[in-house]
């Protein structure tokens, strides 16, 4: 039997946001590989081996999956959200690039509901017009590049979604991000903190930029920032579809 | 019985990319509202009324849904992909803003797999680092704003995803977009045309920017542009997770 590696997105947390495609892959798998809390979301069953590892070992985990596939195993690497958005898909290809012996591995990437879209849906439609997604972790890139991207995103009047805004090892950095935004954007710009969306711990907080505080975010939070047109209607937040009056369209 | 309006994302086309949450909403609905090809994706059943309309009537469609909910009907507005990404969620709130009589409507937005993430998964992980999503239609915004966003996205070294790159009513505009990219980016920048992803008509084409041609895109195509680090590994395209060497991480 020939093995394979599938990188699957489990969505933000709720079971009814896992696609049938991903569910089918989990049912065919012999092995599940991934970060501890994501592997914990896969129901155990006989014949299924669970290989949970800590974070920051993404390349080791990718190699483990490629090695098991070469032995004929059916391996699913699980990611939260979508595997192609700041998750395991890139790490797999990064590892594959330096391991030509695995070049012929049967690989599939299965998309999932990424956190920013689940958060946006809960709040209304804050990403309803052009937007950027930025990973605020400087684990793998210098903060200067983050700052450059923030300024371009603001000057292009993009809405923004921030992943990994804050962690115990980077407590001060998100304060700098907010300072940069305050230099580039008006005080009333809408900022949305969405924690653990679609789980029992879900919490959504909406504030103007002037009232945004670093401690409103942690590693389970995705932060959305509106563009200059983003507004409230009742309890909802939305960004209009364009800047030209739509008439009856 | 109290009515409601749910805006649901059907994903890019394949049935196994429709979330169970969306499937359940479709099963509870009395009425489906949406653009003709999206309504056609909902299986007909007794007691379910299908209200298909042409495009460019998004605000009328939103009002129709709000009116039916007020009459106690359970209305699902269907969008392709994710309803919050260049789709019906914003149009609903835009209409709600000028119709205070519907302010108390029970509204839910259900996320879906948006086209750029399905396309990215098929190709590898081209959006594996910071990226922008830009709607290239100038139906509701001036082309100047599109140009400004393209230049900021390129100068911030974001990967990019373009929705609605080309239509019969705008045959020349995408050529201008490619010209702007050629001013801002190197000739070898990876460009990916993904048409009708996850359907029988799926077609993926990868070319360097120097070989990208306007006719490679139509309204069923999402176009992905890599950042300066995006590269090929075998048949895959991926964008590394960062710019700092990852070591064994």
Encode burial over A48-84: b for 16+ CB neighbours within 10 A, e otherwise: beeebeeeeebbebbbbbbbbbbeebbbbbbbbbbbb
Q: What tokens appear for B37 in the block? A: 């090809």
**Nearest beta carbon to residue A243 from set B21, B125, B141:** B141
**Is some CB atom of chain B closer than 8 A to the CB atom of A27?**
no
pLDDT, tens digit (0-9, with 9 covering 90-100), for A146-171? 999 999 999 999 999 999 998 777 77
Q: Which position has the higher pLDDT, A140 or A53?
A: A53
pLDDT, tens digit (0-9, with 9 covering 90-100), for A80-116? 999 999 999 999 999 999 999 999 999 999 999 999 9
**Is some CB atom of chain B closer than 8 A to the CB atom of A116?**
no
Distance, C-alpha B141 to centroid of its chain? 17
pLDDT at B244 over 80: no
| Average pLDDT for B181-189 | 98
For chain B, the average pLDDT equals: 94
The three-point CA angle A135-A24-A74 to 5° equals 80
**Nearest beta carbon to residue B90 from set A107, A155, A238:** A238
Confidence of residue B248 (pLDDT cuts 50, 70, 90): very low
pLDDT, tens digit (0-9, with 9 covering 90-100), for A161-215? 999 998 777 778 899 999 999 999 999 999 999 999 999 999 999 999 999 999 9
Spatial distance between the Cα atoms of A57 and A119, rounded to a whole number of angstroms: 27
Residues of B in contact with A112 (CB under 8 A): 113, 117
- Number of other residues whose CB lies within 10 A of the CB of residue A44: 10
Give the model's pLDDT for residue B166.
86
The single residue listed with the structure tokens 């960062």 is B242
CA–CA distance from A5 to each of A2, A91, A94, B129 (Å)?
A: 11, 13, 14, 21
Tell which residue, B170, B166, B169, B163, has the closest CA to residue B213: B166
For chain A, the average pLDDT equals: 94
Spatial distance between the Cα atoms of B243 and A122, rounded to a whole number of angstroms: 33
Residues of A in contact with B236 (CB under 8 A): 93, 96, 107
Residues of A in contact with B60 (CB under 8 A): 248
pLDDT at A249 over 70: no
Spatial distance between the Cα atoms of B144 and A14, rounded to a whole number of angstroms: 41
- Evaluate whether B77 touches B6 at the Cβ level (below 8 Å): yes
* 8 Å CB contact of B249 and A140: yes
Residues of A in contact with B140 (CB under 8 A): 241-244, 246, 249
Spatial distance between the Cα atoms of B52 and B36, rounded to a whole number of angstroms: 5
B interface mutation test: which of A88, A99, A132 has the most B CBs within 10 A?
A: A132
Q: What tokens appear for B60 in the block? A: 């009328």
CA–CA distance from B153 to each of A98, B25, B222 (Å)?
A: 30, 37, 17
Burial status of residue B247 (CB atoms within 10 A of its CB: 0-12, 13-18, 19 or more):
exposed
Domains for chain B: give ranges and CATH numbers. Answer: 4-113 (3.40.1010.10), 116-238 (3.30.950.10)
**Is some CB atom of chain A closer than 8 A to the CB atom of B102?**
no
pLDDT at A219 over 80: yes
| Average pLDDT for A117-124 | 98
pLDDT at B151 over 60: yes
Give the model's pLDDT for residue B246.
43
**Is some CB atom of chain A closer than 8 A to the CB atom of B128?**
yes
- Number of other residues whose CB lies within 10 A of the CB of residue A194: 28
- State how beta strands A131-135 and B131-135 pair: antiparallel
**Is some CB atom of chain B closer than 8 A to the CB atom of A144?**
no
Give the model's pLDDT for residue B242.
83
Confidence of residue A68 (pLDDT cuts 50, 70, 90): very high
**Is some CB atom of chain B closer than 8 A to the CB atom of A26?**
no
Confidence of residue A76 (pLDDT cuts 50, 70, 90): very high
pLDDT at B112 over 80: yes
Which ipTM was obtained for this model? 0.95
How many pairs of residues across A and B have Cβ atoms under 8 Å apart? 262
């Amino acid at each position: 039997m020939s093995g394979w590696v599938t990188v699957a997105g489990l969505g933000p947390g709720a079971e009814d946001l896992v696609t049938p495609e991903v569910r089918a892959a989990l049912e065919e798998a012999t092995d599940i590989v991934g970060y501890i809390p994501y592997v914990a979301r896969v129901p155990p069953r006989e014949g299924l081996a669970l290989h949970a590892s800590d974070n920051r070992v993404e390349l080791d985990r990718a190699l483990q999956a490629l090695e098991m596939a070469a032995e004929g195993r059916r391996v699913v690497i699980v990611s939260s959200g979508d595997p192609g958005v700041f998750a395991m898909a890139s790490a797999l290809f990064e590892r594959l690039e330096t391991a030509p012996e695995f070049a012929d591995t049967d690989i599939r990437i299965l998309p999932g509901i990424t956190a920013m879209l689940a958060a946006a849906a809960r709040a209304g439609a804050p990403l309803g017009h052009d937007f950027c997604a930025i990973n605020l972790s400087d684990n793998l890139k210098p903060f200067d590049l983050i700052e450059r991207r923030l300024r371009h995103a603001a000057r292009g009047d993009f809405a923004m979604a921030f992943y990994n805004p804050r962690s115990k090892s980077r407590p001060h950095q998100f304060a700098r991000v907010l300072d940069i935004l305050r230099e580039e954007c008006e005080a009333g710009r809408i900022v949305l903190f969405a924690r653990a969306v679609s789980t029992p711990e879900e919490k959504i907080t909406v504030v103007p930029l002037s009232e945004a505080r670093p401690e409103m975010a942690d590693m389970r939070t995705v932060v959305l920032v509106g563009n200059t047109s983003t507004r409230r209607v009742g309890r909802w937040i939305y960004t209009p579809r364009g800047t030209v009056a739509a008439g009856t369209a």
